[in-house]
Amino acid sequence: MDHSSDERSVPTLADVARYANVSTATVSRCLNSPELVVELTRVRVMKAVAELGYTPNFGARALAAKQTNTIGAIIPTMENAVFARGIQAFQEELVRNGKTLLIASSAYDERLEEEQLRTIVARGADGVLLIGYDRSDAIYKLLKKRSVPCVVAWSFDNTQRQPAVGFDNRHAMAELARLVIRQGHRNIACISAPIAGNDRARGRVEGIRQAMTEAGLTGETLTLTQTPYGIEAGEIALRSTLAKSPDTTAVMCVNDVLAIGALRAAKEMGLRVPEDISITGFDDIELAMLAEPALTTVHVPHREMGRRAASMLIQMVKHREIPESIELPTDIRLRRSLGPAPK
């Protein structure tokens, strides 16, 4: 079978030490703080490392050093381009700093998120990235108890204490809603992801409400439809929205994917966008620009968010201090899908 422990087997620190004729401590130092070892020795040791093809055993290292150089991230799903992009940038920044990414997805499920966090913490992640603030207290407590630094991304709210890198969802959406209202829309509907346990979606919906109130649209209520993620889900949601409120002239979606679905459903129903109905999104994924008509949406700097979240986390791990949260700007991309309200 596989007697993998011949002389062929995986070399250990001790093997390298023997081969280079030094102590294990010296080898360890060559690897971790080379400046403590005189050049001559260091060269000899490195040669031994190379010749034996030695790679440190992670478990042993973690055990002895109480540091894993691993950062965990729990995101709702990678299938959402927005997260995929942010996480890609996050990971690149980690690698640049010698960290590895441990990844898990929660499928927008709070219980699953907690479970995943437990395994990530048990694996000794030095820090964790979480999406949005909303989650059970148990999670924050666990993090605190194990003193694992944590940063929140995709949200920014200065009433919250968690360090975050994100943007103000409510504010960004309110801005867009004001624009919609300025176009004369009064019967506005919103298609949202489920807002329970999702402060990003909730913030966006609240933003619309806020803008409506500001504009004195108090008689009209906002027609809100909650739905899962996906283009098809957006299509269905538009139909049910129009069934509920046939007078709707503008549909604001909390993300571009739902908006694309809504756009499609509108076309299928023979409605012209934006002449008969306006539709807006959020995120500004590539699709937004490509849609027909192109989608008015809120642009979010996903890559920058990922990158800065990584830096922040690395700082927190290194210096054990709580940094200032970072609020990133968003801006509105005005495109054809938003037009004046029909008479």
Point out which span in 55-63, 70-78, 200-208, 310-318 binds DNA (CB under 7 A): 55-63
Q: Which is nearer to DNA, 18 or 303 (CB)?
A: 18
CB 336 within 8 Å of CB 294: yes
Identify residues 27-46 at the interface with DNA (CB under 7 A): 28-29, 31-32, 36-38, 40-42
Fill in the amino acid letter for 253: C
Question: Taking the chain, what is the end-to-end CA distance rounded to the nearest angstrom?
Answer: 80
Residue 101 in contact with a second copy, rule: CB under 8 A: yes
Which 8-state DSSP code applies to residue 78? T
| Contact status, residue 123 vs residue 72, Cβ threshold 8 Å | yes
The angle that helices 39-52 and 24-32 make with each other, rounded to 10 degrees, is: 90
22 binding DNA? (CB under 7 A): yes
The answer to whether the CB of 129 falls within 8 A of the CB of 141 is no
Q: Is 65 in the site for DNA (CB under 7 A)?
A: yes
12 binds, among a second copy, DNA, none (CB under 5 to 8 A by kind): DNA
Q: Which residues, 6+ apart, have CB-to-CB distance to 178 below 8 Å?
A: 211, 214, 215
Site residues for a second copy, 115-174, by CB under 8 A, read 116, 118-124, 142, 145-147
The residue range among 60-68, 202-210, 247-255, 317-325 that interacts with DNA, by the rule CB under 7 A, is 60-68
Q: Record the tokens describing residue 231, joined without a space.
A: 């283009």
Kindly state whether residue 51 participates in binding a second copy, applying the rule CB under 8 A. Answer: no
Residue 24: name its binding partner from a second copy, DNA, none (Cβ under 5 to 8 Å by kind).
DNA
Provide the minimum distance between the beta carbon of 173 and a second copy in the complex, in angstroms, as a whole number. Answer: 24
DSSP annotation of 127 reads E
Q: Within 163-222, which residues bind a second copy (CB under 8 A)?
A: none
CB of 12 to DNA, least distance (A): 3
